[in-house]
Amino acid sequence: MTANLIFFLILALVSIGAALGLLFSRNAVYAALFLVLNFITVAIYYLLLNAPFLAMAQVTVYAGAIMVLFLFVIMLLGTKKLKTRGENLWQRRLAIGLGVVLLGEIASLFFIQGRGGALLGDIGTKFGGPEAIGLELFNQYLLPFEITSILLLVGMIGAIVLTKED
Amino acid sequence: MIPISYYITLSAILFTIGAVCVLIRRNAIIIFMGIELMLNAANLAFVAFANQHQVLSGQIFVFFIMTVAAAEVAVGLALIVTIFRTKHSIDVDQLSSLKG
């Protein structure tokens, strides 16, 4: 076992633990903080995979902006725990059963089909940096980039119109 | 150096947890967070494959997914706030006005 693999596995444990914390925590604020931890571990994976620009965007956009929005709405609506009256038990059992089936399929793919594949690692510092991303974005993906700006405008106007009190 | 299957397996596990979160939780905000977790798992797979093939398109796609997720969260949370104002609850089981 190389040091890289040990690092990967520890980070995977943190990541999966944070995701499970999101799944099981009763308090919405704790769930949001667990999700922030998960986003940050994923950002570290991006760094390992030669995507420094995306890692920083992940921290600022996801762990920063989006989660602040979530926390803001949680605070706005009140942090009291949601009452779990009228438990829909069959639904929960069905969901957990389906999740276990999916995990079993993943495990079988991982252990039976082989856990090899191409080795991922450092492929040069230029790859995935802001310069490379910018060149690719503005040369090949200019139209989608502009459409994204319209999408963000629509999202902004939608949020304002929906929450406007009149 | 880590084989790509490790990354894909991690991504699939995170996706599964997000999907189960969407299925078993009632709080609309936490369901929303489960959706974000699934998007993130897909992003991880994208970045892993971008590294494998050494093509930047995968990373550009993740960039677009992030912006779409940001827009989606803004509108979705606005919807949740509006629902809370009219129903005084964000329990998805109680939003059954349209039940046939």
What ipTM does the predicted assembly reach?
A: 0.92
DSSP H stretches of helix in chain A: 3-24, 28-48, 52-57, 67-77, 89-112, 130-139, 142-163
The residue of chain A with its CA nearest to that of B3 is A119
pLDDT digits (tens, 9 = 90+) for A32-58: 999 999 999 999 999 999 899 999 999
d(C-alpha B67, C-alpha B79), whole Å: 18
**For residues A132 and A123, is the Cβ–Cβ distance under 8 A?**
no
Q: Are the beta carbons of A96 and B24 separated by less than 8 Å? A: yes
Residues of A in contact with B67 (CB under 8 A): 148, 151-152
Q: What is the pTM of this model?
A: 0.90
Residues 80-109 of A with CB under 8 A from B: 82-84, 86, 88, 91-92, 94-96, 98-99, 102-103, 106, 109
The residue of chain A with its CA nearest to that of B21 is A23
Region B57-80 average pLDDT: 93
d(C-alpha A165, C-alpha B85), whole Å: 10
Residue type, B20: V
Q: Is the pLDDT of residue A115 over 80?
A: no
Could you tell me which residues are beta bridge partners of residue A119? B3
Instruction: Mutation target for A interface from B1, B2, B36, B88: give the one with most A CBs within 10 A.
Output: B2
**Partner residue facing A117 (CB), from B4, B40, B59:** B4
- To the nearest whole number, what is the mean pLDDT of chain B? 89
The residue of chain B with its CA nearest to that of A160 is B78
Region A69-75 average pLDDT: 91
